[in-house]
Amino acid sequence: MYAIVDIAGQQFKVEAGKTLFVHRLEGEEGAKVTFDKVFLTDADGKIAIGAPTLEGVSVNATILKHVKADKVIVFKKKRRKGYKKKNGHRQPMTQIKIEAIS
C-alpha cells in the first residue's frame, strides 16, 4: 500500500516502513507526526483519489533526526566586468520514517 501525501508543501509517495528526507519539520527527534493531506491511496490495486484530499485518511510518521542537505553552490558571473559572486547553501532537512497509513 502506498499514498501520495503533502508534507511541508511538497508531495511525496510514501509506503509503510520507508524513510525519507523532507524540508525541516517542527518537533524533536523521536516525536510522532501525523499528515492529514492525503491525495491518493493505493491498496492492492484499489485506488482512491481525493477531491482535493481524502477524508479520514492519515499518514503517521516518526522524526528520526534533523540534518542539513548537501551544499549547493551558487555562482554568479558577468563576463568582462570583473563581477564574480560565489555563495553556498545547505537546506535544513528532517529525516522521517513512515509508520503507518490509516
CB contact at 8 A, 41 and 13? no
Using one digit for the tens of pLDDT, what is the confidence trace for 73-101? 999 999 999 999 999 999 999 999 999 99
Using one digit for the tens of pLDDT, what is the confidence trace for 17-60? 999 999 999 999 999 999 999 999 999 999 999 999 999 999 99
Residues 18, 13, 39, 70, Cα dihedral to 10°: 100
Q: Give the mean model confidence (pLDDT) for residues 7-21.
A: 97
Structurally, the chain folds into a number of domains equal to 1
Residue 63 banded pLDDT, cuts 50, 70, 90:
very high
Residue 67 banded pLDDT, cuts 50, 70, 90:
very high
User: Residue 27 class from Cβ within 10 Å (0-12 exposed, 13-18 middle, 19+ buried)?
Assistant: middle
Q: Structural domain of residue 30, as residue ranges?
A: 2-101
Q: What is the pTM of this model?
A: 0.86
Query: What pLDDT, on a 0 to 100 scale, did the predictor assign at position 14?
Result: 98
